Amino acid sequence: MFVVQSYSLAVVLCVITMFCWGSWANTRKLASKNWRFELFYWDYTLGVLLLTLLLGLTLGSSGELGRAFLPDLSQASGASIRSALLGGAIFNLANILLVAAIEIAGMAVAFPVGIGLALLIGVIVNHLAAPVGNGVLLACGVVLVTLAIVLDAVAYRRLPGGAAGVSTRGLVLSVACGIFMGMFYRFVAAAMYADPVHAEMGKMGPYAAVFVFAVGVFLSSFIWNTFAMKKPFVGTPVGFADYFKVGFNTHLTGILGGVIWGIGMSLNLIASGRAGFAISYGLGQGATMVAALWGVFIWKEFRTAPAGTPKLLTAMFACFLSGLALIVLARTL
């Protein structure tokens, strides 16, 4: 299988992850305005599943290092399989909450609050489980990201109607998303062997692990997303028959979103062998910056904000960039 053997390449892959994770939600905006996110989400999970299977059969089955995708999958222990599946189910719950928060509060709020909080929890949990890198620099990076989250929340509350009603619900959903999103990665990492070159029996490499994770995402949708369809966060309930009432192009937007996110997750796990799980996850969750840039400059979500708000957003971006830089340096110093 293809294996990353240098830290610099691992960082590059994590940066690509950052852009994938921070951009996939734009496909939701490309879909019809009448296409409910609960229906969009079925295509999204399908896109993740198909992408991870394709990578496993191609990159995961080429080269001489490590175990090939199918043999790796077949030798995985029940404990490793269950751990990766559980990681997929936890992520799926978090992601559905994230998409709901985007619908209510917008990308520039849902991503910095939800994914920013996930970054804090994820880096801490994964570093404690597998300490790699300078803990002090990681901690400083986490502090800067925390400050960025606070600044974003302050900017959000300056928007007209940003402190009341449905917007507050969007903020609450973002926080709930962050808690679950910060936990899922540890379960996937626990199913993997740490050294990408020397395979460990019972554990999986990144290609098999991310595929099992994707299966967990897809299967758990029949619980989480079915519930969201019957008890939606916004609007009236929808049925499975509604899924078949649109054309292929509409379904393609959701599949594309899943493919984009799946590329990010796959590359992140591939990079984790050299970067370490905490750093790899932390860099990937710099997606917050990418998503905030989309929300602020492309979708103009802060166009009605009062004077002084741009300064808060500038400070937020500066804190995120500084925090991510420290996370990168934590592996080299």
Q: What is the pLDDT of residue 248?
A: 92
Query: Residue 207: which residues within 8 A CB-CB, separation 6 or more?
Result: 1, 52, 55, 56, 59, 60, 69, 72, 266, 270
Query: Residue 289: which residues within 8 A CB-CB, separation 6 or more?
Result: 18, 22, 317, 320, 321, 324
Query: Which phi and psi (to 5°) does residue 235 adopt?
Result: 85, -170
Please indicate, yes or no, if residue 172 is contained in any of the structural domains: yes
Integer Cα distance of 4 and 157 in angstroms: 43
Of the candidates 328, 85, 103, 318, the residue with the CA atom closest to the CA atom of residue 221: 85
Integer Cα distance of 66 and 254 in angstroms: 33
Q: How many domains does the chain have?
A: 1
Please indicate, yes or no, if residue 170 is contained in any of the structural domains: yes
Contact between residue 169 and residue 104 where contact means Cβ atoms under 8 Å apart: yes
Integer Cα distance of 118 and 8 in angstroms: 24
Predicted model pTM: 0.90
Q: What is the pLDDT of residue 271?
A: 95
Please indicate, yes or no, if residue 97 is contained in any of the structural domains: yes
Contact between residue 44 and residue 255 where contact means Cβ atoms under 8 Å apart: yes
Please indicate, yes or no, if residue 242 is contained in any of the structural domains: yes
Integer Cα distance of 298 and 233 in angstroms: 25
Of the candidates 269, 287, 82, the residue with the CA atom closest to the CA atom of residue 185: 269
Please indicate, yes or no, if residue 25 is contained in any of the structural domains: yes
User: Which segments of the chain does DSSP mark as H helices, in order?
Assistant: 7-23, 26-30, 37-57, 69-75, 78-105, 107-110, 116-129, 135-157, 166-190, 206-230, 248-275, 277-284, 287-293, 309-329
CB atoms within 10 A of CB 319: 22
Domain that residue 11 falls in: 7-329
CB atoms within 10 A of CB 183: 18
Please indicate, yes or no, if residue 307 is contained in any of the structural domains: yes
pLDDT (tens digit, 0 to 9) for every residue of the chain, 333 residues total? Answer: 899 989 999 999 999 999 999 898 889 878 887 899 899 999 999 999 999 999 999 999 998 888 999 999 999 999 999 999 999 999 999 999 987 887 787 666 777 788 778 888 998 899 999 898 899 999 899 889 888 878 877 787 787 766 544 467 888 888 999 999 999 999 999 999 988 778 899 999 999 999 999 999 999 999 999 999 999 988 899 999 999 999 999 999 999 999 999 999 999 999 999 999 999 998 888 887 787 788 788 878 788 888 999 999 899 989 988 998 898 899 876
Please indicate, yes or no, if residue 91 is contained in any of the structural domains: yes
Residue with tokens 């925090």: 323
Of the candidates 14, 6, 4, 3, the residue with the CA atom closest to the CA atom of residue 68: 3
9: region left, alpha or beta (phi > 0 left; psi from -120 to 50 alpha) = alpha
Please indicate, yes or no, if residue 2 is contained in any of the structural domains: no
